Amino acid sequence: MPIANAMRAGLERGSWIRKMFEAGIELKARLGPQAVFDFSLGNPDLEPPPEFLDALRAAAISDEPGSHAYMTNSGYGFARQAMAQKVAAEHDVPTQADDVVMTVGAAGALNVILRTVLNPGDEVVVVRPYFAEYSAYVENSGGALVVADSAPDFSLDPEAVARALSPRTAVVIINSPNNPTGRVYPRSDIEALASALSAHALKTGRAPYLVVDEPYRDIVYDGVFVPPVLSAYPESLVASSFSKTLSIPGERLGYVAVNPACAEKALLVSGLATSNRVLGFVNAPALMQRAVAASWRAKADVSRYGRRRDMLAAILDGAGIRYARPEGAFYLFCEVPAGGPATVPGESRDVAFAMALKDRGVLSVPGVGFGYPGWFRLCYCVPEATIEGSRAAFEETARAWNA
Ligand SMILES: Cc1ncc(COP(=O)(O)O)c(C=O)c1O
């Protein structure tokens, strides 16, 4: 038994996002990069803003003693202070530095939270379609994933979430702006969810934590507003990062912020800092904390993503492929066109369609990877030439699919 059974099962299930990303590397080597249109991975193609690069240069040449030493597991005080200021403005609560733990990306933030609050068998409710890695993160901490449906337009369905709650529910995770749908949950959805969670707490005596996973908070279009969540429900935490908004996913910097109104706040923050250590992260990267604390107000040029969204949407319109129009993030979630060849037993239509696209050089992610078969995801944080070049492949695949 060279590896654990759970890991073997995980490898077999695989992550479709990673599988497609790796298929892209192979296709590019075989066909040449011009013949491959890779919409698989949410790897921002915009360079980080100059404010971040300047702050990084300044941090890198600093010879202040101890700059590269171990630190407290929750991170530098000045970085936590900066994040507290950010979260206070975004979530309308008086967050302080002590309410924040710096983490290794949003992925680190989510794992640290789950490790801190889950007892074996506790349930974590997520909304379908959901970021594929949630199931692995929940499993990492011995929890059980419970899936609630979203509304047909992919907005939040608070009643569906309420039906998914049980006395074992420890956490509800929401993600807005959403990966893969691009939906931004409006204030009315957040308030209805908060009421459902409060009613559940009254009934069962257990208030689930509401975790807001929001690495795309600043990436919104057409003036859409991302409402505060922490001010709506006390037992809440933010998990976020600068991977998407500063275009630095490889640098792995994120944070958890605990609602100052949370009943067990001090205990929770101590647990989060300890989880950071015992999960092996120890602390968030020192150099990045210094660079981001000095540049977090800088923004990616979202209008460039907006242009890419519109270009790709026009190509899909031309090919007759329907999609949910994104209000934020940089993904188009598309419906597999009706018709198509008979699939082999056990293979869903979205996998067959993603393979048909791949045969024409287009890499997408089948919806089954997000718990939502029948749909597929395209990530449009790619160069405009990639989008423009993919037109014929989409049109031909859709035509052949319907033939
Ligand atoms: C919804 C969502 N949550 C969390 C993450 C993880 O982000 P990070 O790279 O900052 O760990 C991602 C990354 O794509 C994501 O899409």
Segment 108-165, tens digit of pLDDT:
999 999 999 999 989 999 999 999 999 999 999 999 999 999 999 999 999 999 999 9
Asked whether 141 lines ligand 1 (CB < 6 A), one says: no
Q: Which of 199, 113, 194, 209 is nearest to 156 (CA)?
A: 194
Asked whether 336 lines ligand 1 (CB < 6 A), one says: no
* Residue corresponding to tokens 């993030």: 329
Q: Which of 238, 253, 292 is nearest to 93 (CA)?
A: 238
- Which pLDDT score, from 0 to 100, does residue 33 have? 84
User: In Å, how far are 37, 43, 167 from 383, measured between CA atoms?
Assistant: 10, 11, 47
Residues 6+ apart with CB under 8 A from 326: 177, 181, 182, 183, 221, 309, 332, 333
- β-sheet bridge partners, residue 124: 145, 171
Dihedral sign from CA coordinates of 194, 203, 134, 147: negative
CA of 29 relative to ligand 1 center, distance in Å: 27
CA of 107 relative to ligand 1 center, distance in Å: 6
3 state DSSP class of 196: helix
185 is written with which tokens? 């949950």
**Paired sense of beta strands 236-241 and 209-213, if any:** parallel
277 is written with which tokens? 């250590």
3 state DSSP class of 257: strand
Asked whether 118 lines ligand 1 (CB < 6 A), one says: no
Residues 6+ apart with CB under 8 A from 252: 104, 105, 108, 241, 243, 284, 285, 288
Mutate to test the pocket of ligand 1, among 179, 184, 330 (most ligand atoms within 8 A of CB): 179
Asked whether 103 lines ligand 1 (CB < 6 A), one says: no
Query: How many angstroms separate the CA atoms of 176 and 377, rounded?
Result: 16
Ligand 1 atom with the shortest distance to the CA of 254: 10
Q: What is the pLDDT along the chain (403 residues), one digit of tens a residue?
A: 688 888 887 777 667 777 787 788 888 888 888 889 999 988 899 999 999 999 999 999 999 999 999 999 999 999 999 999 999 999 999 999 999 999 999 999 999 999 999 999 899 999 999 999 999 999 999 999 999 999 999 999 999 999 999 999 999 999 999 999 999 999 999 999 999 999 999 999 999 999 999 999 999 999 999 999 999 999 999 999 999 999 999 999 999 999 999 999 999 999 999 999 999 999 999 999 999 999 999 988 899 999 999 999 999 999 999 999 999 999 999 999 988 777 666 778 999 999 999 999 999 999 998 999 999 999 999 999 999 999 999 999 999 988 7
- Which pLDDT score, from 0 to 100, does residue 339 have? 82
Asked whether 131 lines ligand 1 (CB < 6 A), one says: yes
Phi, psi of 238 (to 5 degrees): -100, 135
CATH code for the part of the protein at 50-293:
3.40.640.10
- Which pLDDT score, from 0 to 100, does residue 340 have? 79
Q: What is the CA radius of gyration of the chain?
A: 21
Backbone torsion region of residue 36, taken as left when φ is above 0, otherwise alpha when ψ lies between -120 and 50, otherwise beta: beta
How many C-beta atoms surround the C-beta of residue 91 within 10 A?
A: 21
Domain 5-48+300-402 in CATH 3.90.1150.10: yes
Asked whether 179 lines ligand 1 (CB < 6 A), one says: yes
Per-domain residue ranges for the chain?
5-48+300-402, 50-293
Q: Which of 93, 133, 130, 91 is nearest to 110 (CA)?
A: 133
Phi, psi of 152 (to 5 degrees): -60, -30
Say what the pTM is: 0.96
Q: Which of 35, 37, 46, 42 is nearest to 18 (CA)?
A: 42
Backbone torsion region of residue 280, taken as left when φ is above 0, otherwise alpha when ψ lies between -120 and 50, otherwise beta: left
Asked whether 42 lines ligand 1 (CB < 6 A), one says: yes
Query: How many angstroms separate the CA atoms of 351 and 306, rounded?
Result: 28
CA of 349 relative to ligand 1 center, distance in Å: 26
